Amino acid sequence: MNIIRPQGRELDLLIVILPDNNGSLYGDLKRICETDLGLVSQCCLTKHVFKMSKQYLANVALKINVKVGGRNTVLVDALTRRIPLVSDRPTIIFGADVTHPHPGEDSSPSIAAVVASQDWPEVTKYAGLVSAQAHRQELIQDLFKVWQDPQRGTVTGGMIKELLISFKRATGQKPQRIIFYRDGVSEGQFYQVLLYELDAIRKACASLEPNYQPPVTFVVVQKRHHTRLFANNHNDQRTVDRSGNILPGTVVDSKICHPTEFDFYLCSHAGIQGTSRPAHYHVLWDENKFTADELQTLTNNLCYTYARCTRSVSIVPPAYYAHLAAFRARFYMEPDTSDSGSMASGARGPPQGGRNTRPFGNVAVRPLPALKENVKRVMFYC
């Protein structure tokens, strides 16, 4: 602590060079920095540091820049206000994901993460929040919460409300459109997730102002499927890239898609090795009245704004960031759950089916340690 606060000033960034076999050191370091000290850190491995390759240093610089509140890339269309249904009025883009513990870990909770864009019209900076919830529960429990406070009476909160408030603080205006990219939902749970989470978004908006109901577009992002796309003529160099894969930006939204619903396959990245796996986007709810072209173009363009590399990525960055944030939060609870007995009694709870009329109950899960305020505002998970 004495080293970290030189002459009473706060450190902006801690760069840590870790030994190559660091075991749990990385996780402990991130947990202490982000939940105890309120400090953003960048870790490097010794073997990479001594090589001093330009590409490695450039990649580390990309991550450091966004961790201290900068931005690496901005779309030209965003600067010239040409993105349909985003540039015309303040728009917040959410990404959400839930990561579950490995099979066999009966006691560990699932971790939900939600990120939301904090700048408009650029849409490149995302603040992130994480929370623990019942084991293998796919619906995100903490999107909207109501509880009784002895002093203040009924209090509302939750991840959506907090992110909407921080968007207003950062941009000076309320979001007038919401685009919600939800990762990790299987087809069998589409409508259960839509009903519960759309309702939570609506309640969070209404808790800010009585008649505040911005239109919502709810899109599920799927990477785990068995659809692969190939060029019609493999020998035509204009239709394949160097690895023989289809070109980045290829969209398929007919023939192999759902006959009545709004979904499409988008291969937004250039394949380097193996066969490219396109992402499948399924629009479950659309009050913003996107045309197919508008949503496909927006999604593809966003894939070029991913902060950790200079290429386009395979799934839309808000969903990617939510995945990274949920993965990071696993480190926050490791010390408490290492003795599997301590959590097992509370986390399992009663079986999910046939308890009472509510679809799921508040199963006791130990909450994650809270992120410090200055860490929440930047992209600490990158």
What pLDDT digit, counting tens, does each position of 7-57 carry? 667 788 999 999 999 888 999 999 999 999 899 999 999 999 999 899 999
Q: What is the pLDDT of residue 12?
A: 85
Is 305 exposed, middle or buried, given 0-12, 13-18 or 19+ CB atoms closer than 10 A?
buried
Residue 61 has pLDDT above 50, yes or no: yes
Residue 140 has pLDDT above 80, yes or no: yes
Question: Does some domain include residue 226?
Answer: no
Domain containing 73: what range? 53-217+288-334+371-377
Question: Does some domain include residue 150?
Answer: yes
Q: What is the pLDDT of residue 265?
A: 98
Angle in degrees, CA 299, 300, 304, rounded to 5: 110
Q: Which of 229, 214, 334, 322 is nearest to 271 (CA)?
A: 229
Q: What is the pLDDT of residue 342?
A: 36
Question: Does some domain include residue 25?
Answer: no
319-371 pLDDT tens trace: 999 999 999 999 998 554 444 333 333 333 333 333 333 344 455 788 999 99
Question: Does some domain include residue 365?
Answer: no
Q: Are strands 177-183 and 91-99 parallel, antiparallel or unpaired?
A: parallel
Residue 306 has pLDDT above 70, yes or no: yes
What are the distances in angstroms from CA 199 to CA 24, 218, 251, 281? 39, 12, 31, 21
Question: Does some domain include residue 241?
Answer: no
Provide the percentage of residues in the chain whose pLDDT is more than 70.
Answer: 90
DSSP helix/strand/coil, 207: helix
Q: State the CB neighbour count (10 A cutoff) for residue 339.
A: 10
What number of helices (H) and strands (E) belong to the chain? 10, 12
Q: Give the count of alpha carbons within 13 A of 302, CB side only.
A: 28
φ, ψ dihedrals at 77, nearest 5°: -60, -30
Question: Does some domain include residue 158?
Answer: yes
Is residue 109 within 8 Å of residue 83, measured between CB atoms? Answer: no
220-273 pLDDT tens trace: 999 999 999 999 998 888 999 988 999 999 999 999 999 999 999 999 999 989
Question: Does some domain include residue 312?
Answer: yes
Average pLDDT over residues 194-222: 96
Is residue 344 within 8 Å of residue 9, measured between CB atoms? Answer: no
Average pLDDT, the chain: 89
1 — pLDDT class (breaks 50, 70, 90): low
Q: Beta-strand (E) ranges in the chain? A: 13-18, 40-45, 91-99, 110-117, 126-133, 145-149, 153-157, 177-183, 216-222, 250-252, 262-267, 279-286
Tally of domains within the chain: 1
Contacts of 60 (CB under 8 A, 6+ apart): 42, 44
Question: Does some domain include residue 157?
Answer: yes
Q: What is the pLDDT of residue 364?
A: 76
In the chain, the amino acid numbered 25 is L
Q: What is the pLDDT of residue 106?
A: 82
**CATH number for the domain that contains residue 313:** 3.30.420.10
Q: Which H helix or E strand runs over 31?
A: helix 25-31
275-296 pLDDT tens trace: 999 999 999 999 999 999 999 9
